[in-house]
């Protein structure tokens, strides 16, 4: 693994270059203006040598905040710098309250900054801290080693308001941890890395639209070169990719969630150019090398990943290489074309280890670990770095904090040029309640009627927009209508795409395979299923869609067939038939095994049978307490929840839980609104249930969630179009309710092509 070159070698090169170096550096592209805003070590008490991950953030006052691991009070400092370059210390660490703050800081929804120290604290294992813009520091947690130690990265605030972060070392196996810290200060170690699942995470986490967190480890994994992982807020970790040298090695920087729905990152080393790579990866683990760094032209060692700016392109830094050998600033287009914007020459900074940060004014800001002209010891000999700006004439914008909320919640908006006359809109709906702080911050109340979309702030003739869509919790939106309307289809999600198979089109069952891409909001088609079916159920295992049973005429004739669809080959194949033919069953996957539950074949079934795709064999399991069909089911906390459904006595809200380990069912609190044929799915630790019908009557207009933790039901915002017998799918942390009909008597009823999307 490579790090910075030897300082003596760098200084010898400086001597040779200084006669030709210009203080502004060298910027090959004339459209970019590189400016040194501050030379670290210019004055006594300066912070210096900012390092990875060194997250830079924008405060409510419009200034920039970050950390340096050295200087200040000798143990490093949190500092702020104005966009014009005036540096001031926010807090100098003393050792007893932490030392070596490498990671930078993140802005909380309370307006304060959160970060970590690598060392210091009472156990010399580092701390988690909060600091106000005025410099009042609160130590939130002191690491002891068993709970993690030596964090490089600052924590990030989740949509639940809690803080999530990583430590470089410590934990059960001493390879680092993932932790959670609540707003009340309760600390939990969520996961300890054991090398096989990764080791030594440097970087901050990023939260995906599915509510899970994503990150990288510097080392560990199958080949020892680091991994990409996702982890649930409850601490369940999944390895998404193990680096193997050919596709990069040693990812020390964070991931970002880009506008195309992929996570992007970089590795310090290897790849075909042997200078590191830029990569992208889906939430399902589909990995692609986007660019291999070529040291002489691109630069090499992209320590801290990349960022996506307001022009849609990506920007990053390399810590070495380039024409002056001290690193580069580069741009990568959405077509993966890389160009060098600036070559560091040491006099104007060198060895950048931090990805640039874009201020809402459009300008990029960053710092370097070495170089500059600071003249206060020890920077007279060590060249302690610079803080710079790069003006690439990128569009200004506004940033929401947080980027999610419910109607009535208060959302902070960062920007510039605000006045009391500024008009704020959430996806076109005007805010009626807002509070202005200076010209750089607005606290806005999410208005009634707001839905997922962009926030705009209009001041005079200038309109600024957020770069990311704002998510309105407990809200509904719509997607592109289905090409062919159906009710009672079988559905499954593979790599984010929703497959809608079969169903009734207002007559007999169909063989359709309609495919919806939520990211593109577009429908396509796949190979039709070999035998038309309605009221079938489906499940996905290892990116294969399995369709179980069904009927071709509303339940008069039922099937025991099992069909498997492979999207990669766009082909179907027959699998071992179900022991019990049925339609209107539920299917839930646990540990790679599909549990087919209940259903109908002339009577309401309590039958539960498990299918193992790996062996293509079936096993009988303990039956439901109450036989029923049209069930809302899902896996939560390792247990299968089977709620609602039509029993032999009609709808009674029956709710049951299946323990796979003990092969037993137990009763839960019944749904207060008994129904069947609902749209349902599990997101987080809740089962969401919408619409359906009661005893074959007209559809029910009601949305609820069920929590196994509290054994309680909660009423939520109702679905806009009331339907029953709906296709259900969860993708990207949202519930998709697809199609449906106007009553529960297939196939001779009215069917719809609605795509209704619920955001929890």
pLDDT tens by residue, 738-752: 999 997 666 557 999
In degrees, rounded to 5, the angle at the alpha carbon of residue 277 between the alpha carbons of residues 275 and 280 is 175
- Torsion sign across C-alpha atoms 568, 571, 577, 580: positive
> What pLDDT does 209 receive?
84
Task: Give how far Cα 458 sits from Cα of 177, 209, 402, Å.
Answer: 44, 28, 20
Give the start-end residues of each E strand in 118-186: 127-131, 137-142, 156-157, 163-167, 177-181
Cα–Cα dist 736/491, whole Å:
10
DSSP 420: T
What values do phi and psi take at 523, rounded to 5?
-105, 140
> What pLDDT does 18 receive?
34
Residues in the chain, pLDDT under 70: 1-30, 744-748
> What pLDDT does 74 receive?
87
> What pLDDT does 746 receive?
60
| Token pair for 751 | 């069917």
Cβ atoms < 10 Å from Cβ of 643: 27
- Torsion sign across C-alpha atoms 198, 200, 206, 212: positive
> What pLDDT does 745 receive?
63
Q: Which of 682, 581, 567 is nearest to 286 (CA)?
A: 567
Cα–Cα dist 713/363, whole Å:
48
What values do phi and psi take at 533, rounded to 5?
-155, 145
Which residue is it, tokens 């200040």? 72
> What pLDDT does 3 receive?
40
- Torsion sign across C-alpha atoms 202, 207, 208, 210: positive
Helix (H) or strand (E) holding 15: helix 7-17
The fraction of the chain above a pLDDT of 70, given in percent, is 95
Which residue is it, tokens 């606290």? 443
Cβ atoms < 10 Å from Cβ of 162: 17
Cα–Cα dist 422/70, whole Å:
42
Q: Do 385 and 50 meet the contact criterion of CB atoms below 8 Å apart?
A: yes
> What pLDDT does 10 receive?
38
Beta carbons within 8 Å of 611's beta carbon, 6+ residues apart: 546, 548, 562, 575, 576, 578, 593, 594, 596, 617, 618
Q: Do 489 and 505 meet the contact criterion of CB atoms below 8 Å apart?
A: no
In angstroms, the first-to-last Cα distance of the chain is 43
Which residue is it, tokens 């030897």? 6
Q: Do 131 and 78 meet the contact criterion of CB atoms below 8 Å apart?
A: yes
Using a 10 angstrom Cβ sphere, with 0-12 exposed, 13-18 middle and 19 or more buried, the burial of residue 377 is exposed
In degrees, rounded to 5, the angle at the alpha carbon of residue 89 between the alpha carbons of residues 83 and 95 is 140
Question: Backbone dihedral region of 289: left (phi > 0), alpha (psi from -120 to 50 degrees) or beta?
Answer: beta
Q: Do 277 and 330 meet the contact criterion of CB atoms below 8 Å apart?
A: no
Which residue is it, tokens 């009672």? 488
Cα–Cα dist 481/725, whole Å:
17
Q: Do 176 and 189 meet the contact criterion of CB atoms below 8 Å apart?
A: no
Cβ atoms < 10 Å from Cβ of 429: 17
Q: Do 472 and 451 meet the contact criterion of CB atoms below 8 Å apart?
A: yes
Q: Do 478 and 470 meet the contact criterion of CB atoms below 8 Å apart?
A: no
Q: Do 378 and 68 meet the contact criterion of CB atoms below 8 Å apart?
A: no
Task: Give how far Cα 294 sits from Cα of 225, 276, 323, 339, Å.
Answer: 20, 8, 11, 11
Q: Do 713 and 460 meet the contact criterion of CB atoms below 8 Å apart?
A: no
Go through 267-300 and write b for each residue having 16 or more CB atoms within 10 A of its CB, e for each that does not: bbbbbebebbbbbbbebeeebebbbbbbbebbbb
Q: Do 518 and 732 meet the contact criterion of CB atoms below 8 Å apart?
A: yes
DSSP 31: T
Cα–Cα dist 582/606, whole Å:
11
> What pLDDT does 20 receive?
32
């Amino acid at each position: 693994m490579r790090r910075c070159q030897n300082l003596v070698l760098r200084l010898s090169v400086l001597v040779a270059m200084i006669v030709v170096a210009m203080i502004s550096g060298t910027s090959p592209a004339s459209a970019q203006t590189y400016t040194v805003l501050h030379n670290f070590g210019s004055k006594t008490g300066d912070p210096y040598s900012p390092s990875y991950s060194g997250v830079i953030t924008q405060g409510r006052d419009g200034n920039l905040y970050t950390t340096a691991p050295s200087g200040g009070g000798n143990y490093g400092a949190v500092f702020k710098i104005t966009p014009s370059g005036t540096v001031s210390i926010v807090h100098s660490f003393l050792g007893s309250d932490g030392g070596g703050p490498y990671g930078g800081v993140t802005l909380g929804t309370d307006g304060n900054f959160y970060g970590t120290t690598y060392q210091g604290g009472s156990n010399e294992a580092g701390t988690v801290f909060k600091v106000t813009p005025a410099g009042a520091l609160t130590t939130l947690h002191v690491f002891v080693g068993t709970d993690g130690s030596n964090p490089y990265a600052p924590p990030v605030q989740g949509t639940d308001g809690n803080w999530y972060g990583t430590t470089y070392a410590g934990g059960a196996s001493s390879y680092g941890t993932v932790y959670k810290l609540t707003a009340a200060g309760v600390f939990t170690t969520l996961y300890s890395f054991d090398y096989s699942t990764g080791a030594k995470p440097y970087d901050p986490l990023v939260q995906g639209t599915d509510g899970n967190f994503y990150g990288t480890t510097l080392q560990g994994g199958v080949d020892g070169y680091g991994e990409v992982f996702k982890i649930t807020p409850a601490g369940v970790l999944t390895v998404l990719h193990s680096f193997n040298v050919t596709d990069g090695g040693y990812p020390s920087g964070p991931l970002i969630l880009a506008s195309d729905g992929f996570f992007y990152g970089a590795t310090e080393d290897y790849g075909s150019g042997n200078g590191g790579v830029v990569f992208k990866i889906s939430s399902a683990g589909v990995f692609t090398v986007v660019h291999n760094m070529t040291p002489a032209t691109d630069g090499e060692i992209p320590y801290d990943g990349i960022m996506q700016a307001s022009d849609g392109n990506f920007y990053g830094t390399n810590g070495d290489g380039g024409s002056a050998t001290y690193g580069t600033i580069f741009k990568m287009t959405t077509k993966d074309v890389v160009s060098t914007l600036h070559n560091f020459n040491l006099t104007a900074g060198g060895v950048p280890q931090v990805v640039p940060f874009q201020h809402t004014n459009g300008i990029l800001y960053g710092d370097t670990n070495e170089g500059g002209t600071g003249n206060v010891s020890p920077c007279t000999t060590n060249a302690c770095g610079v803080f710079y700006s790069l003006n690439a004439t990128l569009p200004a914008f506004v940033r929401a904090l947080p980027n999610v909320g419910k109607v009535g919640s208060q959302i902070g908006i960062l920007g510039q040029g605000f006045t009391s006359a500024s008009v704020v809109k959430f996806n076109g709906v005007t805010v009626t309640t807002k509070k202005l702080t200076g010209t750089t911050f607005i606290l806005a109340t999410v208005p009634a009627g707001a839905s997922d979309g962009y926030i705009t702030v209009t001041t005079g003739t200038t309109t600024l927009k957020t770069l990311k869509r704002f998510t309105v919790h407990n809200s509904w939106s719509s997607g592109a209508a289905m090409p062919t309307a159906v009710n009672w289809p079988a559905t499954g999600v593979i790599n984010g795409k929703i497959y809608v198979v079969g169903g009734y089109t207002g007559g007999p069952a169909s063989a359709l395979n309609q495919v919806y891409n939520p990211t593109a909001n577009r429908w396509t088609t796949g190979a039709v299923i070999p035998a038309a079916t309605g009221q079938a159920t489906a499940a996905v295992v290892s990116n294969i869609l399995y369709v179980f049973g069904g009927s071709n005429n509303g339940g008069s004739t039922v099937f025991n067939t099992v069909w498997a669809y492979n999207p990669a080959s766009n082909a179907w194949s027959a699998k071992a038939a179900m022991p019990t033919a049925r339609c209107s069953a539920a299917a839930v996957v646990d540990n790679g095994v599909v549990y087919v539950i209940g259903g109908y074949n002339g009577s309401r079934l309590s039958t539960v049978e498990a299918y193992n795709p790996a062996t293509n064999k079936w096993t009988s399991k303990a039956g439901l307490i109450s036989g029923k069909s049209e069930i809302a089911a899902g896996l939560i906390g390792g247990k299968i929840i089977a709620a609602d459904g039509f029993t032999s006595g009609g709808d009674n809200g029956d709710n049951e839980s299946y323990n796979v380990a003990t092969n037993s069912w137990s009763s839960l609190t019944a749904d207060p609104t008994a129904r069947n044929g609902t749209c349902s799915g599990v997101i987080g630790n809740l089962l969401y249930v919408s619409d359906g019908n009661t005893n074959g009557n007209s559809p029910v207009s009601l949305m609820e969630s069920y929590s196994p933790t509290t054994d309680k039901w909660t009423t939520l915002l109702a679905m806009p179009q009331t339907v029953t017998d709906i296709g259900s799918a969860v993708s990207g942390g949202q519930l998709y309710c697809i199609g449906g009909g106007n009553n529960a008597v297939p196939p001779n009823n009215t069917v719809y092509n609605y795509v209704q999307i619920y955001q929890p």
